[in-house]
Amino acid sequence: MAANNYVPKKPDVINCNIEKTLDVIGGKWAFLVLRELFVGTRRFGELQRLIPAVSPRALTSTLRHMEQKGVLERKVYPTVPVTVEYTLTPKGEDLHQIIREMKLWASKWT
């Protein structure tokens, strides 16, 4: 009698919408960047001042990630020094309700 060597394959990636959302906003600094951009367009230096604990490198990385995910838009002005502004896209604005709900939950339970 031959042994059955069949092993079912596990999927490489499990598609979960919550996981996809966390990929966009789950970074350490993303929530704070979103909080500041919900108010309106901000320059890099403004974000640094408003989020004093973030290093310039971490802020740059967070902003690039969020830009790649389509959450914010980066606009460069040819000034000396270069002026860079960040604005939420409609996709980014849609995150406001999610963040608000998380804030309400935290107020209630923590």
What residue spans of 2-89 are helical by DSSP H? 17-25, 30-39, 44-50, 56-68
pLDDT of residue 23: 87
* CATH code for residues 17-109: 1.10.10.10
The whole-model pTM stands at 0.80
Instruction: Give 35's contacts (C-beta < 8 A, 6+ positions apart).
Output: 99
In angstroms, the CA 91 to CA 107 distance is 26
User: Mean pLDDT, 10 residues at a time, over the chain (110 residues)?
Assistant: 61 73 88 96 97 96 96 96 96 94 93
| Structural domain spans, the chain | 17-109
